[in-house]
């Protein structure tokens, strides 16, 4: 990383992948040492993971220490144009995420017609949620995921790749790697989400913009996890309305990605 620059946005772009890898390895070693002194970290995998994420976050605090401009970045996310785009991209992605619900819903409906003994997937009782585990999961999803995933995948990986491969390949590669870390049903939505985050970051040169979308998205997803909305949206007749809305949003999402990517290629060519 270039310690000579004091601009937050510029310093972030200079952090190398090997420096990030070293930071993660050191964080893992420290977390392992802490596990010896605090056995609860060994007993609770979620707590250990949160501790590891916190240590990786400290790496970024150290790497970006002494820079200025973060306050300006924070102010810029509330500009009307930026705020509206944040909400628009969030809405497109959170609705598109229901595409897997639609797929399962139609499959469930088809099997139900052909097999009278079939028990609907949506009729299966949900497992009781452990409050402590849910809280740790929520903290990881709402706080650490938006911060670290944007810093890692957009702030470092995307920035370093676009120097070597160009904008579009860097968007695709970094978003694919980002998607691989998600569950199978969410990989497609995570990949498109990653592309949108690359677009927002490149348009604004402000990592707080994709972080904001990511945070709002994960807050909403966490809340939806404790509601029966999937079961409602995936059952007939609501499944028809859900599918229509998802198809419209899919077209809008693809249109946004294609148009914005084309504009960015022209801007940075």
Distance CA 189, CA 218 (A): 13
Residue with tokens 């997937």: 121
What's the confidence (pLDDT) of residue 185?
67
Distance CA 88, CA 215 (A): 14
The per-residue pLDDT string of the chain (269 residues; one tens digit each, 9 = 90 and over) reads 998 999 999 999 999 999 999 999 999 999 999 999 999 998 888 899 999 999 999 999 999 999 999 999 999 999 999 999 999 999 999 999 999 989 888 888 888 778 777 766 666 555 566 777 778 888 889 999 999 999 999 999 999 999 999 999 999 999 999 999 887 668 999 999 999 999 999 999 999 999 999 999 999 999 988 888 888 888 888 999 999 999 999 999 999 999 999 999 998 87
Distance CA 206, CA 3 (A): 19
40, 68, 96 - which closes a domain: 68
Query: Do residues 109 and 185 share a domain?
Result: yes
Residues comprising the chain, all counted: 269
Distance CA 199, CA 264 (A): 8
pTM of the model: 0.92
Query: Do residues 30 and 152 share a domain?
Result: no
**CA dist 250 → 58, 98, 124, 188 (Å):** 37, 10, 29, 12
Q: Dihedral sign, CA of 160, 161, 164, 170?
A: negative
What's the confidence (pLDDT) of residue 236?
85
Query: Do residues 8 and 117 share a domain?
Result: no
| Residue whose C-alpha is closest to residue 146's, from 205, 235, 203, 207 | 207
Query: Do residues 259 and 171 share a domain?
Result: yes
Query: Do residues 49 and 145 share a domain?
Result: no
Please state, as a whole number, how many other Cβ atoms lie within 10 Å of the Cβ of residue 186.
16
Please state, as a whole number, how many other Cβ atoms lie within 10 Å of the Cβ of residue 203.
16
Query: Do residues 201 and 263 share a domain?
Result: yes
Query: How would DSSP label each residue in 166-205?
Result: -HHHHHHHHHHHHHHTS-GGGHHHHHHHHHHHHHHHHHH-
What's the confidence (pLDDT) of residue 149?
96
**Token pair listed for 61:** 């605090």
Helices (runs of H) and strands (runs of E) counted in the chain? 14, 0
**Token pair listed for 252:** 């809008």
Query: Do residues 84 and 31 share a domain?
Result: no
Query: Do residues 118 and 221 share a domain?
Result: yes
What's the confidence (pLDDT) of residue 113?
78
Query: Do residues 4 and 62 share a domain?
Result: yes
User: In degrees rounded to 5, what are phi and psi of residue 99?
Assistant: -65, -35
Query: Do residues 242 and 193 share a domain?
Result: yes
Strand pairing partners for 7?
68
Q: How many domains does the chain have?
A: 2
Query: Do residues 215 and 143 share a domain?
Result: yes
68, 84, 114 - which closes a domain: 68
26, 47, 68 - which closes a domain: 68
Asked if 106 and 243 touch (Cβ cutoff 8 Å), the reply is yes
Query: Do residues 63 and 107 share a domain?
Result: no
What's the confidence (pLDDT) of residue 129?
67
Domain that holds residue 44: 1-68
- Rounded to whole angstroms, the maximal C-alpha distance in the chain is 70
């Amino acid at each position: 990383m270039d310690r000579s620059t004091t601009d937050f946005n510029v310093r972030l772009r200079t952090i190398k992948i090997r420096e990030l890898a070293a930071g993660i390895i050191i964080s893992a070693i420290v977390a392992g040492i802490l596990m010896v002194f605090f056995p609860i970290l060994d007993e609770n995998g979620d707590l250990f993971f949160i501790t590891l994420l916190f240590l990786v976050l400290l790496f970024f605090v150290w790497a970006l220490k002494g820079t200025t401009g973060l306050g300006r970045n924070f102010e810029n996310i509330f500009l009307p144009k930026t705020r509206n785009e944040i909400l628009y991209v969030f809405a497109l992605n959170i609705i598109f995420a229901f595409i897997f619900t639609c797929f399962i819903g139609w499959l469930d409906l088809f099997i139900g017609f052909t097999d009278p003994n079939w028990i609907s997937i949506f009729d299966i009782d949900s497992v009781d949620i452990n409050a402590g585990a849910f809280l740790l999961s929520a903290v990881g999803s709402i706080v650490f995921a938006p911060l670290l995933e944007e810093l890692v995948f957009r702030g470092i990986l995307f920035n370093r790749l676009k120097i070597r491969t160009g904008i579009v390949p860097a968007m695709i590669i970094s978003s694919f790697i980002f998607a691989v870390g998600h569950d199978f049903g969410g990989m497609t939505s995570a990949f498109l989400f990653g592309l949108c985050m690359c677009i927002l970051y490149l348009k604004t040169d402000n990592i707080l913009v994709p972080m904001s979308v990511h945070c709002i998205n994960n807050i909403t997803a966490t809340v939806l996890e404790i509601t029966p909305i999937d079961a409602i949206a995936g059952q007939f007749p609501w499944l028809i309305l859900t599918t229509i809305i998802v198809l419209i949003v899919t077209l809008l999402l693809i249109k946004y990605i294609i148009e914005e990517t084309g504009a960015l290629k022209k801007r940075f060519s």
